[in-house]
Amino acid sequence: MKKSERAKIVKIILDKKYPKTPIPLNHSDNFTLLIAVLLSAQCTDERVNKVTPRLFKIGSNPVEMSKISLNEIYEIIKPCGLGPQKSKAIFNLSKILINEYEGKVPNNFSDLERLPGVGHKTASVVMSQGFGVPAFPVDTHIHRLAQRWGLTNGKNVTKTEEDLKKIFPEDSWNKLHLQIIFWGREYCTAKTCYRLECKICTTCYPNRKKAFIHKKP
């Protein structure tokens, strides 16, 4: 089966299972989305959603956030992990947004990726979910599934993003990356499927007998 054929199977199954794709991270605007995505690094969305209500109650915009002490931010977000780095990033990027962007989240990749704690994946999520710009955020989970489904050679997340963008229509990217996340959590989890159990894996590789070995990103 060709890669393009597997891609069609993936899209058909995901569109049928997830016709609607709610954004997993609770937020009210692009600033709170940016902070939530930043906090989600190496942390579950569920935990982020438990932490952010308390944080956003006292810092729902850059001006408010910049007035909170660094230590207070840290104490609130500590359950998300990487507390020292994330609290500094939140505090510093809030000041940058005030001083350089009139308190608004920039709507382009280059400016977003200049902000503390904001890498390409985080910027891609904000561009996709916040501004509606076609993007394909790829984290280790999507990277793993793309390998299992034979959509990438698995060298790294950058290459995986390039491969997925080539094989899927641009107007599907924003929805598709969420569909892949939902499917991975529900049917093709990190410690179970290995291209042997879920419907996508078994349809794309009906004759596979041995568990698939991933390449690390």
The answer to whether residues 104 and 113 touch, using CB atoms and an 8 Å cutoff, is no
Annotated catalytic residue 111: no
Query: Which listed residue (3, 139, 159, 171) is catalytic?
Result: 139
Residues 112, 118: contact at Cβ < 8 Å?
A: yes
Q: Which of 2, 121, 155, 209 is catalytic?
A: 121
Q: How far apart are CA 46 and CA 183, in angstroms?
A: 16
H-state helical runs in 102-198: 109-112, 120-125, 140-148, 157-167, 173-186
Is residue 139 part of the annotated active site? The answer reads yes
Contacts of 55 (CB under 8 A, 6+ apart): 35, 73, 76, 77
Enzyme catalytic residues:
121, 139
